[in-house]
Amino acid sequence: MTDAVLDLADPATVRDPYPAFTAMRAHGRPVWDDGLGMWLAFRYDDANAVLRDRRLGRIFTPREPEDVWETFNWLHEDALLENEPPKHTRLKQLVAKAFARGHIETRRPRIQELCTTLLDAAEAKARDTGTFDVIADYAEPLPVLVIADLLGFPEADVPLLRPWSQAIVRMYEYDRTEEDDRRAEQACREFAAYIDDLAEDRRRHPGDDLITHLAEVEAAGERLTERELAATVVLLLNAGHEATVNGMGNGMVALLERRDQWQRVVDDPWGLAETAVEEMLRFDTPSQLFERTATRDVDISGITVSEGQKIAALLGSANRDPDVFPDADAFDVGRDPNPHIAFGAGIHFCLGAPLARLEMQQSLPMLAERFPHIVAADGATPRETFVLRGWATVPVAV
What residues pair up with 396 in beta bridges, in sequence order? Answer: 132, 376
Q: Are 286 and 44 in contact (CB under 8 A)?
A: no
Task: Note whether residue 5 is domain-resident.
Answer: no
pLDDT value of residue 338? 98
Q: Are the C-beta atoms of residues 15 and 382 closer than 8 Å to each other?
A: yes
Pick the most confident of 106-115, 209-218, 359-368: 359-368
Determine, yes or no, domain membership for 217. yes
Q: Which of 124-133, 204-213, 379-388 has the lowest mean pLDDT?
A: 204-213
- Across the range 70-90, mean pLDDT stands at 90
CA distances from 202 to 80, 161, 196 (A): 22, 19, 10
Q: What predicted TM-score, i.e. pTM, was given to this entire model?
A: 0.92
Q: What is the DSSP letter of 380?
A: -
Pairing of strands 298-300, 303-305: antiparallel
Give the range among 27-31, 135-139, 241-245, 292-296 with minimum mean pLDDT: 241-245
CATH number at residue 230: 1.10.630.10
Is 90 a domain residue? yes
In terms of DSSP H, where are the helices of the chain? 11-15, 18-25, 44-52, 66-77, 87-102, 108-129, 141-151, 158-169, 178-204, 210-216, 226-256, 259-267, 273-283, 315-318, 353-370
Residue 2 lies in a domain: no
Average pLDDT on 331-335 reads 98
Q: Is the pLDDT of residue 1 over 60?
A: no
Domain span including residue 213: 11-397
* 97, 101, 115, 244, 358 from 110: Cα distances, Å: 22, 17, 9, 16, 11
Gap between the terminal Cα atoms of the chain: 52
Whether residue 1 lies inside any domain: the answer is: no
Number of domains forming the structure of the chain: 1
Q: Which residues is 131 bridged to in the sheet?
A: 397
CB 138 within 8 A of CB 119: yes
Whether 95 shows a pLDDT value over 80: the answer reads yes
